[in-house]
Amino acid sequence: MEYSIRELSEMAGVSARTLRYYDEIGLLKPLYATDAGYRYYGGEEVALRQQILFFRERGFDLKSIQSILYEDGFDIMSALEGHLLGLEEERKHVDSLIRTVKQTIASMKGESKMNDKEKFAAFKENMVKENGEKYETEARRRYGGEAVDTSNRKVLDMTEEEYRRFESLEKEIRRLLNEGVRAGIKADGKEAGHIAKLHKEWLFMTWKQYAPEAHRNITLMYVSDERFRSYYDKEEQGCAALLKEAVDSWLDGQA
């Protein structure tokens, strides 16, 4: 079965302009195009278009989708199984949030009791899940399974106050880094030292015990690993480097 660009556009719920753009960037090429420029798509292209939709729904950008679809060994069945697993995990999280909202409503009506820990359980579980998807394999390789499991347990066991402090520390560190880069602060200065101390406090909230060398190593990973560097450098380039240099300088001063 073949479809014109208009037919695929209507069937897939996407504009013809988008399909032409996908063709231009090499994300979804038509089966063939006529001399007059009319594009036609076959079954394989329809299947790939479905994959693009699935990946987009799961939050992937177009560049990432393209690298996945056209890497050696890409298999649509495996991709579908991956989508199913990811969507089932998302459903678990949504179900958990629904339970939390229902429990909170019942608690506020006096129909049941809900402690502070239960109020934030779903949010903490989601944070652990998201971090696990992004970094857990590497973290287990670098620091060992026990350290990762301990960190996850500490997050899940946080009280409401501890969880709020954990979140506010992360936001404060990023804010100070962005301001510090813009202001050109020195890594060995008082402001940078304050950032390093806040980062130590933030880390210790999820670590079994604090170790200066581990602190150095994790900030080194912030600049050497693109995922972490892009997270810290999202607003201002150089934030990850400033954090590493600030921690190194502060720890040198504690020695």
Highest averaged pLDDT of the listed ranges 15-19, 109-113, 162-166: 15-19
Half-sphere exposure of 162 (CA within 13 A, CB side): 15
CA dist list (Å): 197 to 200, 231, 255 = 5, 20, 14
Checking if the pLDDT of 226 tops 90, the result is no
Reported as a pLDDT band with limits 50, 70 and 90, residue 247 is: very high
pLDDT, greater one: 182 or 110: 182
Is residue 136's pLDDT more than 70? Answer: no
35 pLDDT above the threshold of 70? yes
Of residues 146 and 101, more confidence is placed in 101
For the cut 70, the answer to whether the pLDDT of residue 54 exceeds it is yes
Confidence of residue 184 (pLDDT cuts 50, 70, 90): very high
Q: What is the structure's pLDDT at 81?
A: 84
Architecture of the domain made up of 159-254: Orthogonal Bundle (1.10)
Say whether 159-254 and 3-69 share the same fold: no
Residue 55 has pLDDT above 90, yes or no: no
Reported confidence tier of residue 61, pLDDT bands at 50, 70, 90: confident
Specify the CATH number of the domain 3-69: 1.10.1660.10
Confidence tier at 85 by pLDDT (50, 70, 90): confident
User: Domain coordinates of the chain in residue numbers?
Assistant: 3-69, 76-119, 159-254
Select the more confidently predicted residue: 122 or 181.
Answer: 181
Ranked by mean pLDDT, which of 33-37, 85-89, 163-167 comes out on top?
A: 33-37
Distance CA 47, CA 118 (A): 43
Q: How much of the chain, in percent, has pLDDT values that exceed 70?
A: 79
From the list 1, 77, 6, 11, the residue with the least C-alpha distance to 49 is 11
Q: Say if residue 142's pLDDT is above 60.
A: no
